[in-house]
Chain A
């Protein structure tokens, strides 16, 4: 029977968003914030994509499980008003780890995090539970996935997509039968036998999930523990997804996904996808005026947010609100976050500047041809030429910063030993 309290068209499904990810390969971009809170595409944060997908799928009850540096995430989610999660039957709750009589520990894994919030699940009675991560850039009709799940009378449905064989070792992989049922599972296989990868989006029957979690408290991870067991015993289906999907977990992937927005044929379009930012969160983008293009400036192939002031040259770049590009300054192939100032004649080439960084007059960030010299401290993070400048860092006038460099957050201009930082160095 239809639940009378369930508004027309809304599913009796509770959403749990796993937003605890550290995303350490994003280096200084996650020094002060969790991966889902990393700014993206000028006006957004990564988590906006998941939250908006949940909203657009007409789900109204959401728990956001946080653990790592949750402050900017909490500020950003706020009351959830930006995603229409306020009202009588809608709500968003931040669920941090907490101490208690029994569960007095940090979240030990995805399944453990959900297990530690069983009270939240029980206090929001639901037929199914949607579990997803807040780490990815994509658009997906989760409502359709829930319909699929119910049509198949599945205990668990996992969203899966085809990925390159060279990348499959990073994912949970499944082999399906003709019906779409998953018959075999390998978590991050060294020698993959399939190219079908899990996107970390699960729909569980609520009753089923609660039973699974109660069975064995040692099972702390969905991919490693619960899913393999479920596949052997119960009805587990793969919901096929095709379309743009990116894990922006590395500096290179983050840079590429931002640049994808600039290209019409890339398949990503936050506005068309119905992705909602939260302009009332920190930094008050709500107060921003239109972007100002001063006479003599040149802007091409870029994404420019409100509140920017462009006097110099901007090419192939993504500018968040309030960025100032001074006269004669050049910003090329870069991502510049909120309220950075690039002073007169400075050059920013292939770099990511975190919020409120100041590049002094005539300085160069991303200098020279040494793109192949990886960062010495973090060779696996920076090796394609991208230089990172941390939050509120100051690059002194006339300084030269090479490729694959890191200028740590809050570095003062006085901290620069000399006027140049060689390729691959960290300050």
Chain B
């Protein structure tokens, strides 16, 4: 049957991370807004769409509502039709089976019946929280060409940073294209290799089934990097590395999130959003119904991305405004990312702020210090805050969601956490 897809894609979208906790209070990391109108998971979803891989499962357990809402029918990514579809797989209770996903590998294991049902030739497993563009057909081709049991995508990183990743020693069997994985270390304290795993895995399903069984029987942890890849190597299976050399953006911490967002800006942005053709679900939050951005007579917008539904009457520099953001007269927004429906009232000044949805910055608020000192921290503001007028907040602060206004009736010092 030619029409039946040979590859099933699974996106690991469940996680939240403590470092991003204010932004992942009500949503999994993959559903965090990014790029002025989209969500982080839109990157893998758009990549899948453009790679022609349109049968997709999403493994999710943390605060799934925002994610489920965002995926909708899958029509936004054309994943709807007889041989196309997107399925959200939450944890479930069954016979002899009643726990949450204990890790990504456990999440896949608990859904083996789903995979069997689709009986794919290749299983592509991706994490849902990176910003990148990749044509997955290239790694699938390489995987098939090498008759591999597992192919992992790797990116060369400075050795000094390699301790944060799973790193591999690759041979140069296929030059710039890839090579055999000789050794693999998960987040080593003293890394010896600089090929970092991008958590893009292409599996031969039969081998994965066996290794997952073994992992369930013998291990206490259920991570692909820590447990599954080493077991593939132990068994002497054919494990290959596919060398990726494009942009790769992380969103694991507030600083990373901010820096990756700033990569959308500038004269030659490292993330050329228009060229990448990012797709999102315009139904989510009804952004399809927004009218064009209204720019006031005294407004200044410089080196910024602004979506429909915004209204700018003040000054916006090097910033990203999601739909529905209002910047009133005399207000200044610099080096900041403001999520849906934030309001910056008259005369408020924001420097290096990442603010979650539905937050209002009262008149004359002062957040952060003017740029020039890049080392200053990013201030993150949780959703549904009403910042009282004239509040002064330092750099690198953390304001939890929905704070009682009386908690903010004093100056907030640099690096302070208010909850």
Contact = CB atoms under 8 A, between A and B. Distances in A.
Contacts of B288: 82, 276-277, 279, 286
Interface in B284-305: 288-305
A163 interface: no
Q: By DSSP majority rule, is chain B's interface helix, strand, loop, or mixed?
A: loop
A72 B320 CA distance: 34
A300 B295 contact: yes
Contact of B291 (A41, A290, A297, A302): A41
- The 5 nearest A-B residue pairs measured at CB: A290-B36, A42-B292, A295-B303, A271-B291, A290-B307
Interface string A300-314: 111111110100001
Contacts of A275: 291
Interface residues of B, number: 37
Interface of B: 35-37, 76, 266-267, 273-274, 277-279, 282, 288-309, 316, 320-321
A241 B91 CA distance: 56
A106 interface: no
Contacts of A276: 288-289
A43 B320 contact: no
Contact of A298 (B35, B37, B300, B309): B300
Contacts of B303: 293-295
B266 to A, nearest CB: 8
B283 to A, nearest CB: 10
B301 A297 contact: yes
A161 interface: no
B380 to A, nearest CB: 21
Contacts of A305: 292-293, 308
A299 interface: yes
A183 interface: no
Interface in A318-332: 318-319
B296 A301 contact: yes
Q: Which of B274, B300, B316 has the most CB of A within 10 A?
A: B274
A214 interface: no
Nearest to A269: B291
A294 B306 CA distance: 11
A295 B302 contact: yes
Given A290-B306, A290-B320, A300-B298, A271 B36 contact: no
Contacts of A289: 35-37, 273-274, 278, 305
A287 interface: yes
Contact of A300 (B274, B299, B321): B299
Given A294-B267, A305-B308, 6 more contacts: A271-B309, A279-B282, A286-B76, A293-B303, A295-B267, A301-B297
Contacts of B282: 279, 286
Nearest to A296: B302
B295 A287 contact: no
B326 to A, nearest CB: 12
Q: Which of A275, A294, A296 has the most CB of B within 10 A?
A: A294
